Amino acid sequence: MNVLLQILVGAVVGVLVGITGTGGAFVIPALIYVFRMDQLRAQGTALLISSFPIWFIAFIPYARSQHFDLRLALLIATGICVGSYFGASWAQHLSLPVLRRVLGAVLLLMGVRFLYQG
């Protein structure tokens, strides 16, 4: 695939990450629909991407404006370390259609809640 297209998709995802403060919600669909990855490969690639310190760059403007809670971030990160391992292990045993439906349902439910709670 064209390297320029890959960088361009990354830049678009980066803008969305900076605006919304989330990553996987944009990275995984981009990997599936633009780069035609299956669900497990997209999730694994998204996790690999997030293991690089790239999200720190998006955090800088929030840090400068003091829009963060360090204590809560550390506590939630601790929980994510434990929960994500077990969730990722479980995902290896689910079918691709089930994984896609789970991701779609989570994104849809969160989106509906955001839309209606303004």
Backbone conformation region of residue 21, classed left if phi is above 0, alpha if psi is from -120 to 50, else beta: left
The confidence score (pLDDT) of residue 1 equals: 66
Range of the domain at 103: 3-117
The torsion of the CA quartet 2, 20, 84, 42, rounded to 10 degrees, works out to: -20
Q: Specify whether the CB–CB gap between 63 and 42 falls below 8 A.
A: no
Can you give the pLDDT of all 118 residues of the chain as single tens digits?
A: 698 988 898 888 888 877 777 777 889 999 999 999 999 999 999 999 988 888 889 899 999 999 999 999 999 889 888 988 998 999 999 999 999 999 899 889 988 998 999 7
DSSP state of 118: -
Query: What is this structure's pTM?
Result: 0.81
Give the E-state strand segments of 15-97 in sequence order.
none
Q: Which residues are CB-neighbours of 49 under 8 A, at least 6 positions away?
A: 23, 27
DSSP state of 35: S
Task: Provide the domain count of the chain.
Answer: 1
DSSP state of 52: S
